[in-house]
Structure 1
Amino acid sequence: MSADDPAGRNSAVPGRPGWPARVGLRAPTGALLYAVLALLPLALAVPLQDRPVMDEVATSLGLVAFAVALLEFALSGRFRRVSGRIGVDRTLRVHRVVAYTMVGLIALHPFLYTDSDVDRRFATAPWFTGTEPSLGLAPLPLWTGVAAWMLVAALVITAIDRTLLSCRYEVWRRLHAGGAGLATALVAVHVFTAGGYSGDLPMAGYWAALLAGAGGSLVYGYLLQPWRQAGHPYAVTRVDRVGAESWEVRLRPQDGRGLAFRPGQFAWVKLSGAFAGAEHPFSISTPPEDAPEIGFVIKEKGDFTNAIGRVEPGTPAYLDGPHGHFVPDEVPVPTVYVAAGTGIGPVLGHLRAFRAAGDRRAITLIYAAETPEALVCRQELADLAGTLNLTCHFVVHAAPAGWTGHVGRIDRDLLDACLPASNRKAHRAFVCGPPAMMASLARALRRLGVPRGRIVTGS
């Protein structure tokens, strides 16, 4: 079941039965729409008479910061209409950068007001002596503004370093969402009680629409989506070891309605109740043609994944997806895959889909792991090389005696040696692995002649 088509009846791509159509905003359209919505308050505000210019600037910063705060809810990565084409990783990067910008606007906002003709009647806190500049605010807008200012800063700081809260990711995520909701409510009270702009009908309507969208995103993510998942449960069918400390978990929907996805996408997986907070993103390693069964390659590397090999068949599971833009071209083009560790998961989804479709595009795979035993589905990849038009280059960091593949790390020199020597501008390159590796190898691929627009990283 997909978020946009619960019955899984998405229109198929020509020649690719079972592949749903792409959804989501294109990057230029999304950027333009975001900029318009963020700056619209400046167009709706009617300038007040006889007001200092710096006061107008300060108010403008506050209005834009509030709009940005409300738009942040749409950049959580959970909405396919937003991130389906842009990519969840890129959407979340924008979310973080915008959050930093928002904090800067909020930090400057109260300090840019002038102190001419101020009213200090409400500055009654014991640390005020009556000589400090004051905004002349009543207690409600004053203290809701101060509280929101501090809470937003705390949200950003704990997002940069979650270890400050000493809690699991699932707990942090709920605290982050709850804190964002509370900060939004505080800012809304401050905006509607502190100044004259938001009392105008056009501006009030604009805020009401954005507040409804922000609140709706929380209701959808924490109530409606889990409720829909509860009505469409999966069950674990098998758990197979596919490499050292790596497993492939296969699920099947209990009602027979499989997830409509494209090769290489991912889903958030819960192996507990639908309303439980413990969910984890994993790339789909099986092709759409295997539906309704669906599989995920998972490595033991955390509290949840360390026990993945002990999950029993029949264990209930719930999915939120599909998400991600790590999907192959619909028409055959020369393709390069660069993967490390379990980054091979979505690549397996691509290759298995190509095998099912009889696709003969030219493919180069460069795949790295710590040891030969850690290479996931190594034998299957070798078999795929005999079925597809696929050349495999295996790279290990620690090589035993007799190893005939590459040794070390994937770098620019190794890429140059493994990539086809000609027509690199026509290749599509997919890079999946740790974030730092993806950024480094994407730069290396560009230097080797693969255009930026033909490189896909992450999810």
Structure 2
Amino acid sequence: MKKLGLFVVVIALAVPFLWWPSISQARDGIALFSQYLGLGALIAMASSHLIATRWPGVEALFGPLDQSYRLHKWLGIGAMVAILLHDTIDAEMRGLGRETALVELAETLGEISLYGLLILVVITIATFVPYHLWKWTHRFIGIFFLFGAFHYLFILKPFKNGDPLGLYMAAVCIIGTLAYIWTSAPRGLRPRRPYEITRVTKEGNAVAVDMTSQGRPLRHQAGQFAFFRFSGAGLGEPHPFTISSAPADDGALRVTIAPLGDLTTRVSRNLAPGQAVQVDGPYGRFGRAKGPQIWIAAGVGITPFVALAQALAEDGPQVTLVYSVRDTNGAAHIAELQNLAASKANLSLVVWQTSELGRFSASALPDIVPDCTNRKALFCGPVQMRRALSSDLPKYGIAQKDFHFEEFEIRTGLGIRRFGRWLWDRHGQQILKEAQNNAH
């Protein structure tokens, strides 16, 4: 994610402390800190809602959408931690005024917001909960933000809503509220590009879906993705797919869908020519590296590289595309890529069949690309393969900064399992071995 976006968030969280010296005079510092934790939670949640809008400028500020959504997730988790601490640490101060029915209502809504957000955050990081259920429950986060904003506005606090700090926080609440209203608005009120499916073809184990614009076309760059709502197939939930075709003058698009999960399986089985599609995008900045490159794809991760290969200019950089597949029968766009490699002098295609050669790893690169140390590496494929390449590529002269990928995961967990595996690999096996030796 971009450092500029992180800097903006840090500054937004730090601004309330400008008024700490004047507000803290003769007041309980611990209680005041608890109230400031509540302010920080509102700021983090409003920032998270802002990222979720996908408004123009969000990627420019926070980075490509895959990275912005990681910040979105951690802002939500950070807000939840701040709210829990705010609830645990007594924030009540004496001499702030008389409690009224409105104040009591604000306190009640604050409690509801706390427990509601806690449940939703747990559902978010518990990735075993089905995507469609998580997506449905995720909409309530904004409602609990509104409860939190009401709680802030009407509880007793050591400053007035009309004070500079009060006006700043009111602006935060307004931004968060507008962002929530935007993301929750009926789909017909949000800008979408109308398309119609013209062809659905089998591509190995996947299906390629061609579509043409029925209005103002989408303008994208090779390597980008968009959100597609295949309403004609009764699949109303938008889902991100990489655009597997280079930009066309008429705005025609193609996506390639592999049946990897419940939703993608239903999509691949229920699409047909003539069905309507609503498109939101484009997003992402994948494939904008300069100089000689190595493209590494596995499975349906080939999709951005098909578009990039189509768009590769004759005077463009030298590129070697390594396509890892189980076998060529199940490989999507294999014939198309072979034709592109045959017609472009600066594009080389290496098809790595794991059924014959085993899993592809960084150790194979020097034999495939002798000058790999002078190239940047772009990857799209399974997470485990990405992590292995990220760890091993520096051994063969490709630095971490020259390894580019997109984390195409709108929803992720906390990484607890990954941390557990790392801990076991680093210490667990050695401890077990020492215990076995001591037993003998």
- Paired with 2:239 and 2:147, the residues of 1 have a C-alpha distance of 31
Matches within 5 A, 1:17-416: 27-44=2-19, 46-76=22-52, 78-84=54-60, 86-113=63-90, 139-164=104-129, 169-177=131-139, 179-194=140-155, 195-197=157-159, 199-223=161-185, 226-229=188-191, 232-243=193-204, 245-255=205-215, 257-272=216-231, 277-289=236-248, 291-307=250-266, 308-329=268-289, 333-354=291-312, 357-388=313-344, 389-399=346-356, 407-416=357-366
Relative to structure 1, the CA distance from residue 222 to residue 65 in structure 2 (aligned partners, 3 Å threshold; closer, same or farther) is: closer
SS at match of 2:147: helix
**Residue of structure 2 in register with 1:130 after alignment:** none
Aligned residue type for 2:196: A
Contact 1:77 1:92 in 2 (8 A): no
| Percentage of pairs with the same residue | 25
Residues 400-427 of structure 1: CA distance to partner in whole angstroms, max 9, x if unpaired? xxxxxxx222223223443443543xx2
Q: Residues 163 and 239 of structure 1: is their aligned pair in 2 closer, same or farther, counting only changes over 3 Å?
A: same
How far 1:142 sits from its partner (Å)? 2.8
Deviation at 1:198, TM superposition (A): 5.2
Q: Is the 8 A contact 1:336 1:429 kept in 2?
A: yes
Contact 2:31/2:92 (<8 A) preserved: no
User: Could you say if the C-alpha distance between residues 198 and 375 of structure 1 is closer, same or farther in structure 2, counting changes exceeding 3 Å?
Assistant: farther
Gap runs ≥5 in structure 1: 1-25, 123-136, 400-406
Pairing 1:418–2:391 present: no
Distance 1:76 1:434, change over 3 A: farther
> Which structure's residues are more often helix, by fraction?
2
Indicate if the aligned counterparts of 1:342 and 1:376 stay in contact, CA closer than 8 A. Answer: yes
Q: How many residues align?
A: 399
User: For the residues of structure 2 that align with 1:223 and 1:387, how far apart are their CA atoms?
Assistant: 47
Per the alignment, residue 131 of structure 1 pairs with none
Cα distance in 1, alignment partners of residues 274 and 160 from structure 2? 55
Q: How far has the Cα of 1:249 moved from its partner?
A: 0.5
SS in 1 for 2:57: helix
1:259–1:291 CA contact under 8 A, matched in 2: no
Q: Secondary structure at the match of 1:338?
A: strand
Q: 2-side partners of 1:371 and 1:439: how far apart?
A: 23
Aligned-residue offset at 1:395: 2.1
- Alignment CA distance shift 1:227-1:451 (3 Å): same
Task: Give the deviation of 1:27 after TM superposition.
Answer: 1.0
What root-mean-square deviation, in Å, do the aligned CA atoms of Structure 1 and Structure 2 show? 2.9
CA distance in 2, matches of 1:386, 1:421: 21
User: Aligned-pair distance for 1:436?
Assistant: 3.3
Normalising by the residue count of structure 1, what TM-score does the alignment of the two structures yield?
0.79
Please say if residues 39 and 169 of structure 2, whose CA atoms lie closer than 8 Å, have aligned partners that are also in contact. no
- Using a 3 Å threshold, how does the CA distance of structure 1 residues 260 and 196 change in structure 2: closer, same or farther? same
Alignment partners' CA distance in 2, 1:258 and 1:73: 27
Q: Give the match's secondary structure for 1:199.
A: coil
Deviation at 1:30, TM superposition (A): 1.3
- Aligned equivalents of 2:79 and 2:53: distance in 1? 18
SS at match of 2:120: helix
CA spacing shift, 1:291–1:443, aligned 2, 3 Å: farther
> So what's the TM-score if we normalise by structure 2?
0.82
Aligned to 2:422: none
The one-letter amino acid of 1:313's match is: P
Structure 2 residues without counterparts, runs of 5 or longer: 409-440
Q: Give me the whole-angstrom Cα distance separating, in 1, the residues matched to 2:160 and 2:133.
A: 35
Judging changes above 3 Å, is the alpha-carbon distance between structure 1 residues 193 and 359 closer, same or farther for their aligned structure 2 residues? same
Q: 1:143 to 1:447 in 2, by over 3 A?
A: farther
Match of 1:296, SS? Answer: strand
Shift of 1:281: 0.7
Give the drift of 1:150.
1.1
